């Protein structure tokens, strides 16, 4: 054995789907190891094949989910039956003592539960822990800095801009992009006809500061195309004061199409992407400087209320993957912050054989060959036009989807990412 490693996960927004799957499939009646394996295989622990791939490399590897009360109580009942019901940190301490990992991997959202102070206590309580490492791929909340990760022996960054930020903070870092769980396509239920012409499944952007553009894209595409949406949205917020409403309309509804037309009239169409990014950057700065903090979706109807026949309830886990595998074209859009790219939907959609139609983030060409393996757009109007073209030219669409899937299965699977992680651990920690 090379080393023992324990990954601490958090399910966050998958909580409802996670609990429903656990209860519907009566996982409480199974052993803990069988229950968590079923959660992994169903796509509720992402990526589900992480532990098995790390074991295939000669390591002892375990997963736990810090914010799942059902799964943590299940573990406590099986492994520490004499213990009374405990809080999440008490259960975590018992799990660390039980598995005795040499390396603890804090995975993405689990950092919200493990502050620097809590992490520092691990070394005092558990002398067998040699290294804390992490994977991170999101903007930092206000008041946090990349230097806050300085207690970690190694960080895996989910995109190149994060890698640069960690390096600037002098924290050992390697890039591990999002990926596709290649074992999903081994399930026979994923081999089915593609019934959905144009599909989006995920967070519509409603209620989220960094997904405003996605929301208005979807609003436009529902009106102009056959797009079907399976989305998760928070409750409707009442109307804001009149000034805020006017400013919101001015900012949110007037920017991209008329700016692009103006640039094209001056012969600047070849530079439209960079210029639009600059315009969008100014737009966000204007909002923060002159309007203060306000929710952009106040007074705006959620898509599920505005288009009840076209917007269906969200799906999670294996049902989400089955949906993508039934789609001809999958819509994607990244965060409004144009620095970042390579969200997980890019790899899920292509891995399951759909034709991916995504915005043109800065680094997409490093992951896929544009217009050969995936299709990109700059505006909502262009997205609608390309969706129409791809549906009218099935041979072209299928060829792009085939190439995209081949690229993902070659370069962007859990297996390749675990090989990168294993090499990074050996290079930085096991010299």
What pLDDT score does 249 carry? 54
Residues 80 and 202 in one domain: no
In terms of Cβ atoms closer than 10 Å to its own Cβ (0-12, 13-18, 19+), residue 158 is: buried
pLDDT of residue 335: 84
Alpha-helical (H) ranges within 241-379 are 242-252, 256-265, 272-290, 303-306, 317-325, 344-351
Same domain for 145 and 194?
no
At residue 154, the pLDDT reads 97
The pLDDT of residue 15 is 83
Same domain, 133 and 40: yes
Q: How far apart are CA 17 and CA 43, in angstroms?
A: 11
- Would you state the torsion angle of the CA atoms of residues 185, 368, 57, 431, taken in this order, to the nearest 10 degrees? -160
Angstrom distance (rounded) from CA 178 to CA 341: 10
Q: Is residue 261 part of a domain?
A: no
Cα distance between residue 14 and residue 22, in whole Å: 12
Establish if 286 belongs to a structural domain.
no
Task: Tell me, yes or no, whether 350 and 222 share the same domain.
Answer: yes
pTM attached to this predicted model: 0.85
Q: What is the maximum span of the chain, computed from C-alpha positions, in angstroms?
A: 75
Angle between helices 394-411 and 380-392 (to 10 degrees): 110
Residue 189 lies in a domain: yes
Q: Can you give the residue range of the structural domain that contains 53? A: 4-179+413-429
Q: 329 with 323: CB under 8 angstroms? A: no
> Within a domain: residue 417?
yes
In a domain, 288, yes or no: no
Same domain, yes or no, for 340 and 223? Answer: yes
The angle formed by the CA atoms of residues 319, 322 and 324, to the nearest 5 degrees, is 115
Structural domain total, the chain = 2
The pLDDT value given to residue 388: 98
pLDDT tens sequence for the chain (431 residues): 799 999 999 988 778 889 999 999 999 999 999 999 999 999 999 999 999 999 999 999 999 999 999 999 999 999 998 877 788 999 999 999 999 999 999 999 999 999 999 999 999 999 999 999 999 988 787 778 999 999 999 999 998 889 999 999 999 999 999 999 999 887 656 666 889 999 999 999 998 878 889 999 999 999 999 999 999 888 776 655 555 555 555 555 554 455 555 555 555 544 445 455 444 444 444 444 444 444 677 778 999 999 999 999 999 998 999 999 999 999 999 988 766 788 999 999 999 999 999 998 666 668 899 999 999 999 999 999 999 999 999 999 999 999 999 999 999 999 999 999 999 999 999 87
Q: What is the per-residue pLDDT for 26?
A: 97
Q: How many CB atoms lie within 10 A of CB 388?
A: 14
Contact assessment for residue 358 and residue 375, using Cβ atoms and an 8 Å cutoff: yes
Clarify whether residues 87 and 188 are in a common domain. Answer: no
235: cis peptide before it, omega within 30°? no
Domain of residue 368, CATH code: 3.40.50.2000
User: Phi first, then psi: what are they for 136, rounded to 5°?
Assistant: -140, 140
């Amino acid at each position: 054995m090379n080393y023992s490693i324990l990954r601490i996960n958090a399910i966050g927004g998958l909580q409802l789907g996670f609990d429903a799957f656990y209860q519907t499939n009566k996982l409480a009646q199974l052993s803990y190891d069988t229950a968590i394996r079923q959660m992994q295989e169903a796509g509720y622990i992402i990526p589900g094949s992480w532990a098995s791939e790390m074991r295939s490399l000669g390591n002892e590897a375990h997963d736990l989910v810090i914010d799942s009360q059902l799964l943590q109580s299940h573990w406590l009942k099986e492994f520490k039956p004499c213990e009374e019901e405990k809080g999440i940190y008490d259960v975590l301490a018992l799990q660390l003592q039980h598995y005795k990992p040499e390396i603890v991997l804090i995975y993405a959202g689990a950092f919200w539960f493990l502050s620097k102070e809590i992490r520092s206590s691990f070394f005092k309580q558990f002398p067998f822990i040699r290294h804390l490492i992490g994977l991170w791929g999101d903007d930092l909340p206000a008041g946090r800095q990349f230097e806050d990760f300085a207690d970690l022996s190694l960080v895996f960054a989910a995109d190149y801009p994060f890698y640069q930020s960690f390096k600037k903070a002098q924290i050992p870092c390697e890039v591990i992009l999002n990926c596709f769980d290649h074992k999903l396509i081994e399930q026979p239920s994923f081999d089915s006809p593609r019934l959905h012409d144009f599909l989006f499944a995920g967070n519509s952007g409603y209620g989220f500061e960094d997904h405003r553009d996605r929301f208005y894209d979807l609003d436009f595409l529902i009106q102009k195309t056959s797009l079907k949406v399976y989305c998760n949205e928070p409750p409707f917020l009442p109307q804001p004061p009149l000034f805020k409403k006017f400013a919101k309309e001015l900012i949110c509804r007037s920017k991209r199409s008329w700016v692009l037309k103006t640039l094209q009239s001056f012969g600047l169409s070849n530079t439209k992407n960079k210029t639009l990014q600059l315009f969008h950057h100014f737009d966000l700065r204007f909002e923060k400087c002159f309007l203060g903090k306000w929710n952009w979706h106040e007074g705006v109807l959620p898509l599920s209320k505005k288009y009840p026949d076209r917007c269906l309830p969200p799906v999670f886990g294996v049902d989400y993957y089955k949906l993508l595998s039934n789609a001809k074209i999958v819509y994607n859009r990244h965060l409004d912050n144009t620095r970042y790219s390579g969200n997980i939907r890019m790899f899920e959609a292509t891995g399951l054989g759909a034709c991916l139609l995504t915005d043109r983030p800065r680094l997409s060409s490093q992951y896929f060959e544009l217009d050969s393996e995936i299709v990109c757009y700059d505006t909502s109007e262009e997205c609608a036009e390309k969706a129409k073209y791809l549906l009218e030219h099935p041979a072209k669409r299928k060829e792009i989807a085939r190439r995209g899937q081949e690229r993902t299965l070659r370069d962007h699977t859990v297996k390749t990412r675990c090989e990168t992680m294993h090499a990074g651990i050996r290079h930085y920690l096991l010299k």
